[in-house]
Amino acid sequence: MMACLLEAPLRISVLSEVTATSRHYVDRLFDPDPQNVLQGVIDMKNAVIGNNKQKANLIVLGAVPRLLYLLQQSSSSLELRTECAVVLGSLAMGTENNIKSLVDCHIIPALLQGLLCSDLIFIEACLRCLRTVFISPVTPVQLLYTDPTVIPHLMSLLSRSQHTQEYITQIFAHCCKTPEHQTVLFNHGAIQNIAPLLISPSYKVRMQALKCFSVLAYENAQVSMTLVNVLVDGEQLSQVFVRMMQRDKPIEMQLTAAKCLTYMCRAGAIRTDDNCIVLKTLPCLVRMCSKERLLEERVEGAETLAYLMEPDVELQRIASVTDHLVSMLADYFKYPSSVSAITDIKRLDHDLKHAHELRQAAFKLYASLGSNDEDIRKKITETENMMDRIVSGLSESSIKVRLAAVRCLHSLSRSVQQLRTSFHDHAVWKPLMKLLQNAPDEVLVMASSTLCNLLLEFSPSKEPILESGVIELLCSLTQSDSPALRVNGIWALMNMAFQADQKVKVEIVRALGTEQLFRLLSDPDTNVLMKTLGLLRNLLSTRPHIDQIMSSHGKQIMQAVTLILEGEHSIEVKEQTLCILANIADGNTAKELIMTNDDMLQKIKYYMGHSNVKLQLAATFCISNLIWNEEDGSQERQDKLREMGFVDILHKLTQASDPNLCDRAKTAMQQYLA
């Protein structure tokens, strides 16, 4: 019992010791004599510089509301208000928790209000503190846009001094996160106001202005198109950026200028074959990938380069032969630290912790490089241990690395050559299947797209994929809310059913279930519908299969075909549906389902006379299969179709202007003559 009593006072005394030294600083803020208050704030400023513990204590003891009160009081002297802003700026330099406390005390509106004062020294102190608060990841950037008068006022303060230019552009660069933010800044004249700062005598101002342009131009055609026409001191803006990429400029500047030109190019404002892209931006970004560079420079360089050339095969080809880029990227897996940082133990530790970012960037860049060109893909897969690296990337703990690795795999899986060789040798499907078990949607979309490609080259001898439960997994994807996943699930099944043996087809129909198959045939997404029709067409591909599937599901399949042919669908959808009908007409017993269905025969007749040649061809194909001579009952079928007027239509089609249609009709007519 005694022990308990002893324990409590002990704790209190330790706490009071910690705060006793801090308390007198806070007490002095409440002194009735303004001179003492000012001296107290100045002493507090000197006490907190570089001392995180002291900062935390003062915040706990409630210094912030009092400092904000003094800062906002019109009776406070300008000197006192300025010193308060400086101390608050210093407290903000501490930990993220400090910033949270400051934001919770409504420091942002108080400082923004302070910017209405005319005194430059005070304005700069407020801006410096605002800058520190806004660049912290814990501050909601939206707070800059709450009051619509703030942005125009900040624009008007840009001309006051180099300090206001540096802090305001830094705030803009950090707080422009969405298309809405870009539009607000653009509409308030950001481009005209910030462009002249690119030739400021101050490096910090030039750098922050450059960062502003990179965030304003990102995926924004309006901004990018405007930037192309801006002149700075008589020189085109793009040329200013090119100058900033010269090798003698600081790396940060080269990289940010390259980002500006990359974003302008991707937004359609600069052509991909423009010299400033091909001869300047691309080589600059490749230089950033060298192992001389720091980890974050290599990451940003690779990611920006991947983004620049993603849609353009010519840039991919140029990059692949620039400075041995493909093998330079292999170093991303081997040397997380740059050559220059080897002596710095803190840096080494940092780089080991962030090495996964390098791997992610390398995978992204490989994916972009290999997305179109067969030779580049070959070059990538022949890089040392590349396939092993991708395979281990698929099971890394970082979701971003897994996503980038699967993007890389997807890019390489577009190559039939790679599917037959390196993919097969490394049993890539195993980690891919594992990745599909419970991944977030963006990973699922990429992984299932890759699986679609793997299943293209699928042959019955490659049983392992089948035995791994892939069919069940793909069927479950077809039930997803995401159209992209439904498409990929059904697409993979379609590829799997292509020229597959009966066992596989029966398994697909069983696992998918007829109910789900027909639900997909009325899917609102055209891509899903097309792939489902493709699956059905592949299932109904050889006579025994056609007869077997139609004997068990014929009624429903005919119903689905009727609905689609009667519905408002594209030519492609109707053509695919008529091709399915032609396959059914090729079955031995299945063709009776068409012959005994007069409504369906009338539809075929209608499409033989359609204005679109593709539909006429497919419909003529159906008739051709129904009247083929060598088969049982062909005579009765020919007679019935003659009575229904099909011979007259065929005769007319032998005069068709389209040579394919003309031939098809002649071939059919010969069945009657034989």
Q: Which of 280-284, 437-441, 523-527, 590-594 has the lowest mean pLDDT?
A: 437-441
Rounded (10°) angle between helices 502-512 and 543-566: 40
pLDDT for the residue 12: 42
pLDDT for the residue 461: 42
pLDDT for the residue 6: 40
Higher pLDDT, 136 or 591: 136
pLDDT for the residue 462: 57
pLDDT for the residue 323: 85
Is 109 domain-assigned? yes
pLDDT for the residue 345: 83
- What is the average per-residue pLDDT within 1-17? 44
CA 82 to CA 63: how far, in whole Å?
16
pLDDT for the residue 460: 44
Residue 203 tokens, joined? 């490096």
CA 533 to CA 524: how far, in whole Å?
14
CA 133 to CA 578: how far, in whole Å?
65
- What is the average per-residue pLDDT within 393-410? 90
Whether 447 contacts 404, CB under 8 Å: no
Question: 3-class secondary structure for 187-238?
Answer: HCCHHHHHHHHHHCCCHHHHHHHHHHHHHHHCCCHHHHHHHHCCEECCEEHH
Residue 429 tokens, joined? 């499907």
CA 580 to CA 521: how far, in whole Å?
13
DSSP-derived 3-state class of residue 384 = coil
If you count DSSP H runs as helices and E runs as strands, how many of each does the chain have, helices first? Answer: 44, 2
DSSP codes joined into one string, 133-170: HHTSTTS-GGGGTSSTTHHHHHHHHTTT-HHHHHHHHH
Radius of gyration over every alpha carbon of the chain, rounded to an integer in angstroms: 35
DSSP codes joined into one string, 267-279: TTSS-TTSHIIII
Is 527 domain-assigned? no
Place 107 in a pLDDT band, splitting at 50, 70 and 90: very high
Residue 3 has pLDDT above 70, yes or no: no
pLDDT for the residue 238: 96
Average pLDDT of the chain?
Answer: 89
Whether 284 contacts 254, CB under 8 Å: yes
For the chain, the domain total comes to 2
Is 447 domain-assigned? no
User: In CATH, what number is assigned to the domain containing residue 624?
Assistant: 1.25.10.10
Q: Which of 65-69, 150-154, 425-429 has the lowest mean pLDDT?
A: 425-429
- Cα–Cα separations (whole angstroms), residue 50 to 18, 53, 90, 93, 132: 17, 9, 8, 9, 15
- In the block, tokens 């400075």 appear at 323
Higher pLDDT, 209 or 635: 209
Pick from 441-450, 467-476, 570-579 the range whose average pLDDT is largest: 570-579
Residue 338 has pLDDT above 70, yes or no: yes
Whether 485 contacts 445, CB under 8 Å: yes
Higher pLDDT, 468 or 519: 519
CA 380 to CA 158: how far, in whole Å?
49
Q: In 3D, which of 292, 293, 273 has the Cα closest to residue 281?
A: 273
DSSP state at residue 535: H
Last residue of a domain, one of 109, 139, 169: 139
pLDDT for the residue 257: 98
Residue 640 has pLDDT above 80, yes or no: yes
Whether 140 contacts 176, CB under 8 Å: no
Beta bridge partners of 231: 236
pLDDT for the residue 5: 41
CA 464 to CA 468: how far, in whole Å?
6
Q: Which domain holds residue 651?
A: 542-673
- Cα–Cα separations (whole angstroms), residue 28 to 38, 68, 206, 511, 539: 9, 15, 42, 77, 85
Is 318 domain-assigned? no
- What is the average per-residue pLDDT within 188-196? 97
Is 166 domain-assigned? no
Our CA dihedral for 402, 405, 411, 414, rounded to 10 degrees, sits at -80
Whether 377 contacts 415, CB under 8 Å: yes
Per-residue pLDDT tens digits for 56-67: 999 988 899 999
Q: In 3D, which of 205, 212, 208 has the Cα closest to residue 189?
A: 212
pLDDT for the residue 420: 66
- What is the average per-residue pLDDT within 111-127? 96
Place 168 in a pLDDT band, splitting at 50, 70 and 90: very high
Sign, CA dihedral 177-178-179-185, equals: negative
What is the DSSP pairing of strand 235-236 with strand 231-232? antiparallel
Whether 490 contacts 478, CB under 8 Å: yes
Per-residue pLDDT tens digits for 305-330: 999 999 999 999 999 988 888 888 88
Higher pLDDT, 318 or 337: 318
Scanning 498-566, the segments in alpha helix (DSSP H) are: 502-512, 514-520, 526-539, 543-566
Residue 341 has pLDDT above 70, yes or no: no
Across 264-274, b (16+ Cβ under 10 Å) vs e yields bbbbebbebeb
Place 385 in a pLDDT band, splitting at 50, 70 and 90: confident
Residue 447 tokens, joined? 């992984």
Q: In 3D, which of 395, 383, 367 has the Cα closest to residue 422?
A: 383
Please give the backbone phi and psi of residue 232, each rounded to the nearest 5 degrees, phi first: -115, 110
Last residue of a domain, one of 113, 139, 165: 139
Last residue of a domain, one of 139, 165, 184: 139
pLDDT for the residue 115: 96
Per-residue pLDDT tens digits for 533-567: 999 999 998 888 899 889 988 888 898 899 899 88
- What is the average per-residue pLDDT within 206-235? 97
pTM: 0.79
Residue 319 tokens, joined? 């990059």
pLDDT for the residue 13: 43
Place 89 in a pLDDT band, splitting at 50, 70 and 90: very high
Beta bridge partners of 337: none
Is 151 domain-assigned? no
Residue type present at position 255: L
Q: In 3D, which of 467, 462, 396, 391 has the Cα closest to residue 432?
A: 391
Is 286 domain-assigned? no
Residue type present at position 306: A
CA 239 to CA 227: how far, in whole Å?
11
Is 623 domain-assigned? yes
Number of residues in the chain: 674
